[in-house]
Amino acid sequence: MSKTKQEILSGWGRVPVADCQSYRPERSRDIKEIAATQHGVIARGLGRSYGDASLQPHGTILMERMNHYLSFDKEQGIICAQAGVTLSELMALVIPEGWFPRAIPGSRYISLGGAFACNVHGKNQYYGGDFAEHVLAIRLMLAGGESVECSREVRSELFWATAGGMGMTGVIETVTLQLKRITTASLSATTCRVESLDDMIAAFEHYREHCEYMVGWIDHMADGKTLGRGVFEAANHTTREEGGTPLSHFKETKPKFNVPSFIPSFVLNRYSMALYNRWRFKKYSTWRQMETIDFNTFFHPLDSMGNWNHLYGKRGFFQYQCLFPETPDVVARMKTFLGALQREKVFSFLAVIKYHRDGEGLLTFSKRGYSIALDFANTAKVRNVLPQLDRWVSEQGGRIYLAKDAMLTPELFATMYGPNAVAWKEQIEKIDPQHSFTSLMSERLGWKKTT
């Protein structure tokens, strides 16, 4: 079996933390031995889910050394890799060959196994769907050590129970992914300043028919008539004739600097947030700014700072992402949501809005509507407000993204995910009746208990 040790682990939000017995398998037989002999374990990629999803004190399987490519069909754009391969590594390999991930989340420092287990999405979810929709097959290690292949056609119920299933079905060993063809390593992007949430949504509605990627940044400090103001971005892949960067010029980049771990928690406060938000808003004009932009700048701006989660200090932070269904009054509902946070004097340093279409799978976060993602420092007030937000979002027919959750209750999870949650729980009870795979999240949400 792979070597074990005790270590303090956390999600990307650095809250909660847990003293975990960790395993670092290097071969499939190591994972098989762990799955066959250990009870109450969870697989973990790079730990980029924000809360307690990848934490299990009894046994956390760190997949970072399971990071080899198994095959790459350069004609069809199909790649098979071990689950520990990162999106950053994948991009460095496939982009120079003219291929690109069809669903790309906000950080490239995530593992392929983690991307599937969380069914991540990106700025093109409304156009290209979620990550799992482009996965052709996975190999999954079940409780007891049996490895099985599953896809939409073969063991489809297991495939979709694992997609977004937060590691409850077993250990994802390999992922076979369908890529999309590109001709350059850059995007043609349009950026403009919008003066209110109404203007932001109008921009989404206008560009959704013309652009593959869209995202909005919201100045969470603005209120009144300017509530929801911010910067809107839309982009498409560009061609060489349009001035795109040659594919051969793309390189895997490293962070420009690392945020130190000793930054005091008070550095990122309401006033520093206000200054940053005001600067970013004033940086752009209301006129459309069109430019050719590189992939890392558009898709992964925060990755330019190593350990950016240290900005919140040792107390950590909560990232909160909720989705509002696209109803006739969805703008009013989002205004109520943002206004309630301001009245509570709870502000987010970074607020991002995206548009979604209905996703596939039992526990997919995406359905037709708008999601808002916010960062909150870990304070007593925030811990008091978040459960209130959960209840209100649930009452609006919305839901919380599990990969960024740390405080949801079993009752609200059941309400938000409805009949799909019931069907999914029935599936995982069939797949893992002995609860061999558990996490702090599974225990908190009442899915499984470590016995």
Q: What is the pLDDT of residue 260?
A: 86
**pLDDT over threshold 60, residue 1:** no
What dihedral angle (degrees, nearest 10) is formed by the CA atoms of 80, 86, 91, 94?
A: -20
d(C-alpha 171, C-alpha 191), whole Å: 41
Within this chain, do residues 258 and 116 fall inside the same structural domain, yes or no? no
**pLDDT over threshold 70, residue 271:** no
In 10 A of CB 175, how many CB atoms? 25
Within this chain, do residues 383 and 238 fall inside the same structural domain, yes or no? yes
pLDDT band at residue 256 under the 50/70/90 scheme: confident
Tell whether pTM > 0.75. Answer: yes
Q: What is the pLDDT of residue 449?
A: 87
Q: What is the pLDDT of residue 292?
A: 95
Rounded to an integer, the average pLDDT of 423-433 is 96
Q: What is the pLDDT of residue 289?
A: 84
Q: Chain-wide mean pLDDT for the chain?
A: 94
Within this chain, do residues 240 and 329 fall inside the same structural domain, yes or no? yes
DSSP type of residue 155: S
- Identify the weakest region by mean pLDDT among 77-86, 174-183, 273-282: 273-282
Q: Is the peptide bond prior to 419 cis by the omega test (within 30 degrees of 0)?
A: no
Within this chain, do residues 252 and 366 fall inside the same structural domain, yes or no? yes
Within this chain, do residues 366 and 319 fall inside the same structural domain, yes or no? yes
Within this chain, do residues 140 and 195 fall inside the same structural domain, yes or no? no
pLDDT in tens, 365-403: 999 999 999 999 999 999 999 999 999 999 999 999 999
Whether 246 is covered by a domain: the verdict is yes
The proportion of the chain whose per-residue pLDDT surpasses 70, expressed as a percent, equals 94
Rounded to an integer, the average pLDDT of 428-437 is 96
Instruction: State the residue for tokens 């290097």.
Output: 26
CA distances from 76 to 71, 98, 179, 183 (A): 12, 11, 8, 15
Helix H or strand E encompassing 377: strand 369-377
Checking 206-209 for CB contacts under 8 A at 24+ apart, the result is 207/232, 207/234, 208/126, 208/127, 208/355
DSSP type of residue 37: H
Q: What is the pLDDT of residue 274?
A: 65
Within this chain, do residues 237 and 343 fall inside the same structural domain, yes or no? yes
**pLDDT over threshold 70, residue 281:** no
Whether 52 is covered by a domain: the verdict is no
- Identify the weakest region by mean pLDDT among 186-195, 248-257, 412-421: 248-257
Within this chain, do residues 213 and 175 fall inside the same structural domain, yes or no? no
CA distances from 190 to 212, 215, 247, 319 (A): 12, 11, 21, 27
d(C-alpha 319, C-alpha 362), whole Å: 23
Rounded to an integer, the average pLDDT of 281-298 is 81
Whether 382 is covered by a domain: the verdict is yes
pLDDT in tens, 36-49: 888 899 999 999 99
pLDDT in tens, 100-142: 999 999 999 999 999 999 999 999 999 999 999 999 999 999 9
Domain with 151, as residue range(s), is 69-182
Task: Output the domain CATH number for residue 133.
Answer: 3.30.465.10
Tell me if 222 sits within 8 A of 228, measured CB to CB. Answer: yes
The structure tokens listed for 131 are 């990550």
The structure tokens listed for 328 are 């006739």
In 10 A of CB 27, how many CB atoms? 11
